Amino acid sequence: MNDFVFENSTKVYFGRGVAKKHLARLLADYGKTVMLAFGGGSVRRSGVYDEIRAILDTAGKTVVEFSGIKPNPTYARVLEGAALARERNVDLILAVGGGSVMDCGKAISMAARYDGDVWDDFWARRGTVDFEPLPLGVIVTLCGTGSECNGGAVITNEAVRIKTDRDYPRCNARFALLDPAYTLSVPRLQMLASGFDTLSHVMEIYFSAPDEENVSDDISEALMRGIVRDLRAAARDPQDYEARSNLMWESSMAENRIIKLGKKLDFQAHMIEHQLSAYTDCGHGLGLAVLHPVYYRRICEKGAQKFSRFARRVWDVPAEGRTETELARAGVEALADFIRELGLPTSFRELGLPDELPLAEIADSVELTEGGYGHLTRDDVLAILEACR
């Protein structure tokens, strides 16, 4: 194992009815005014809004609503939320929703307590958080990003067409309430896309140095097998509570920093998808489903040792009669087959994107990572995007 420092300050409450059991007591640790941040109508339609609002009202909290947070939250929206939080002297942000709502809540928590330009100082480049962000709690209604157990937030600056993420431990939620029942109303395709995002997170960590046997990779292999199993079960029956509860915790395990320990990390596919969605506003998990096989076909021979292990240990591809390179390629094709099995898109056309996309401009804007096997150039990124048409 390589050297590491581990930190995760979020206290997690997992299971049926955790909001009713624990939220009122948790709220007592904060001041009177709570910003209730959420997205669109799904939280209201599912009844989650009414349940949480009733708990807040019974606890005697003054509620400041900040609603309408959309997928791919924007920096402009973050600034709106920060201004409202300062104006109303908010004591706690309570983000209720999926990754976009949680990410927006984290960014607001920083911007509300910072006098400078949060984008320039913390997202355009990595900064040092030497102040205390506004306290944040989260209630998860859509799993997949793992945002509930880290300080990461993906924000899009529409003015410069850049979508990027940073993970600051001081932005970790103070508490996270994970009730799998809250996810049962999520539409099937959205659930599958979010589950694939979880698988993508684990793969982005797994396909990086070190290649020697290590604990982080052992856990990642178990997680990937579990995600595949549970996505198949949830695809057959979207109301399968066991499958959905497993997917919820797998999402958290993928991004609570545990499997990143001692790893170099890749996340090149995420960087490409971030810029694709910055230009097109496409769904994140759906974009990743299109990109991953194309990207991995390009790099699997350079990481043949790890990709062949992926084939054997995650997909049960027989090794007999295959070279390591052939086995590596077979693992990538097993992933591609799984994506088709779930009915996720395999091309930009299936994703619903127009034929005419500024692919060269998108490629120019992609941040190139150093952790993976590809060590891509701008031309490599452009070739990947063109192969996804």
- The torsion region of residue 95 among left (phi > 0), alpha (psi -120 to 50) and beta comes to beta
Extents of the domains making up the chain: 11-182, 188-387
Strands 136-140 and 33-38: unpaired
What are the tens digits of pLDDT across the range 89-103? 999 999 999 999 999
pLDDT average, residue stretch 53-75:
96
Q: Is the pLDDT of residue 40 over 90?
A: no
Give me Rg for the CA atoms of the chain: 20
Does the domain formed by 188-387 have CATH 3.20.20.70?
Answer: no
pLDDT band at 242 (very low <50, low <70, confident <90, very high): very high
pLDDT band at 337 (very low <50, low <70, confident <90, very high): very high
Q: Is the pLDDT of residue 206 over 90?
A: yes
So what's the pLDDT on residue 35?
A: 98
**Alpha carbon distance 30, 6 (integer Å):** 27
Kindly give, in sequence order, each residue whose CB lies less than 8 Å from that of residue 67, ignoring residues fewer than 6 positions away. Answer: 36, 37, 38, 39, 40
pLDDT band at 1 (very low <50, low <70, confident <90, very high): confident
pLDDT band at 374 (very low <50, low <70, confident <90, very high): confident
pLDDT band at 76 (very low <50, low <70, confident <90, very high): very high
pLDDT band at 4 (very low <50, low <70, confident <90, very high): confident
Number of helical H runs and strand E runs in the chain = 16, 8
What is the CATH code for 11-182? Answer: 3.40.50.1970
